[in-house]
Amino acid sequence: MSNPVIVAIDGPSGTGKSSTSKAVAARLGLSYLDTGAQYRAMTWWMLSNGVDVGDSAAVATAAEKPVIISGTDPSGPTITVDGADASGPIRTQEVTGAVSAVSAVPEVRTRLVELQRSAASGAAAGIVVEGRDIGTTVLPDATLKVFLTASPEARAARRGGELTAAGNGAVDLAATQAALVRRDAADSGRKTSPLAKAEDAVEVDTSDLTLDQVIDRIVALIGEKRDAS
């Protein structure tokens, strides 16, 4: 049997990471892990349990408490916190506004990186893992590392489309773009494993590509890596 394929897909919000990662995993019969959902789940738990997310010492102390379980089937990924379905609540504006502060706390990262590595080592055929620090920190020996980028305009348009599809009504694109840029600055500027491109990652600018073109490109890159190994 061939070795499991480990694919790390990093990049800022709105570059198409989730749609791309799920589709690549489905096409190749691999598992799929959305690590952003885990940081969101941790944040939701903090907010629901009265932890002040601006108090990093309080967040650090609480970080070991929530039981976060991710289902890794790319056709229906799931996430539960203490047994409750968290897939809806983790996408609220309240969680989105607090997640950068929670994910900057080292104890939160240590806890979630452990979960992420254990999901990767348990995936028999392999896994596509999406996030911000997967290629640099979580899975530095990944078979393939991809860093997705896109212009701020293209990213805001995508995120606006997602918000509208989720029932948020008409979306202010300028405000969406400003919020994305702010969150990325926080994620790139934090001390512990910031959003960063690994030296050996392949950068793919998705601004002018369709989703299918990005998927084809990554599937081709995985094929090249497999042939070379």
Note whether 90 and 35 are within 8 A (CB): no
CB of 122 to ligand DC, least distance (A): 18
Cβ-based nearer residue to ligand DC, 30 or 158: 158
What CA–CA distance (Å, rounded) separates 214 from 207?
A: 10
What CA–CA distance (Å, rounded) separates 23 from 39?
A: 22
What CA–CA distance (Å, rounded) separates 10 from 120?
A: 15
Say if strands 78-81 and 68-71 run parallel, antiparallel, or are unpaired: antiparallel
CB of 182 to ligand DC, least distance (A): 10
Cβ-based nearer residue to ligand DC, 17 or 143: 17
CB of 123 to ligand DC, least distance (A): 17
Residues that bind ligand DC (CB under 6 A): 13, 35-36, 39-40, 99-100, 103, 131-134, 183, 187
- Cβ neighbours of residue 192 closer than 8 Å, sequence gap 6 or more: 104, 106, 109
CB of 223 to ligand DC, least distance (A): 25
Cβ-based nearer residue to ligand DC, 157 or 226: 157
Cβ-based nearer residue to ligand DC, 104 or 222: 104
